[in-house]
Amino acid sequence: MNGTPPTRPRTNRVASLFLLSAAWIVLSLAVAGEVTKPVPVLWEAIVREIVAAALLAGGFYAIARAYIADLRPLSSIGFVRRPGIAAEFGRGAALGWAIAIALVLPAMLTGNLDLTFSFTSVAITHFFVSAVVLTAFALVVQLVLAGLPLRLLVRATGPAWATAAVIFVVTCLAISGQGGQGRGLIFMALSASLFVAGYLRTRAIWLPLGLQIGWTLGLQLLFGANSPYTPVTYGIVQSDAGGPAWLTGGPFGPEASAFAVLVLIAALVALFRITRDYAWHYTWQPIEGAGAPVVIAPPEEHIREEKKHAAAAPLVQIGGIAPASPAAPDLPATPRDPIL
């Protein structure tokens, strides 16, 4: 057998680029935290998240442009330009809004949700600042979960192992955070799975970004709920949930309840249903042969017979040329039925 095996992307190079992008994530978040130290408290969170998002997007773009020739730089960040972007974002935002409603539903149905409203100028200012903070925070999260590092992991190990690696990292980070006990770890793992699945089903950032924005803005600004996993926000609506903590989350917010785990499991099922068309169009890959071409040399006896026949005298045709067949007579055109 002769032939050379088909070329494949070098795993070592992909692993090196993944480590480079992971190091850039750590550096970007650290720089964003240092830059915002002299900023007033009201603007600290918004500046931190915007700086972090700008550093992450710029760094990933530069890495993709310099080292990945077969990938468009904007696509490496997840900003894939294609028709239907608004529909993808809206579908994700609708699912996120449904998650927010489902999380506060137990407290509402049991009468344990107490809402207070404030329409002062300070509350309105805090509302819009918090909206920008949560949007920038969602962009940072999606750049980490659905940006260049995930694409490199998928290329090196496949979607299943890439998803498992991202969930493992998020869970490890949650151990040292506020939600690092019991069901908080499960909630963090499920939320990471939801965002990663949203990217893998669409291969773009639009749907998971809309999902997180619809979820966090709806839960924290429209229902006034607390969240142990996002920046502290203030707005027009403030809520106080009573009742059992496993059902309503108590002072930690509905995301800290055991019921939230069931909500995210249902959201994962819904995500796979609403992304069936996207998965068909954007994740299908044609089957490519992975074997090496095989060239089998003919036997020596076959080669000798071919040479013998090639050296022999050509055959001579005996007899005249066969007469041509008489031309067919011209026939009158057959009339067709009129079209009614």
Residue-wise pLDDT for 19-70, tens only, equals 888 889 889 988 988 888 888 777 888 888 899 999 999 988 888 888 877 6
Mean pLDDT of 245-264: 85
Whether residue 149 has pLDDT greater than 80: yes
Whether residue 183 has pLDDT greater than 70: no
Whether residue 210 has pLDDT greater than 70: yes
Whether residue 90 has pLDDT greater than 80: yes
Mean pLDDT of 116-125: 86
Phi (first) and psi of residue 210, to 5 degrees:
-65, -35
Per domain, the residue ranges of the chain are 84-282
For residues 195 and 236, give the distance between their C-alpha atoms in angstroms, rounded to a whole number: 28
Mean pLDDT, the chain, integer: 80
- Give the position of tokens 């699912």: 95
Alpha helix (H) residue ranges in 231-299: 245-248, 259-274, 276-282
- Give the confidence band of 175 by pLDDT, cuts at 50, 70, 90: low
- Locate 189 and state its tokens: 């793992």
Whether residue 103 has pLDDT greater than 90: yes
Do the beta carbons of residue 85 and residue 238 sit within 8 Å? no
Phi (first) and psi of residue 241, to 5 degrees:
-100, 130
Among 74-78, 213-217, 286-290, 324-328, the range of highest mean pLDDT: 213-217
Q: What pLDDT score does 274 carry?
A: 94
Whether residue 179 has pLDDT greater than 50: no
Phi (first) and psi of residue 292, to 5 degrees:
-90, 145
For residues 218 and 6, give the distance between their C-alpha atoms in angstroms, rounded to a whole number: 50
Where would I find the beta strands (DSSP E) of the chain? 113-117, 237-241
Q: Positive or negative CA dihedral for 66, 70, 72, 78?
A: negative
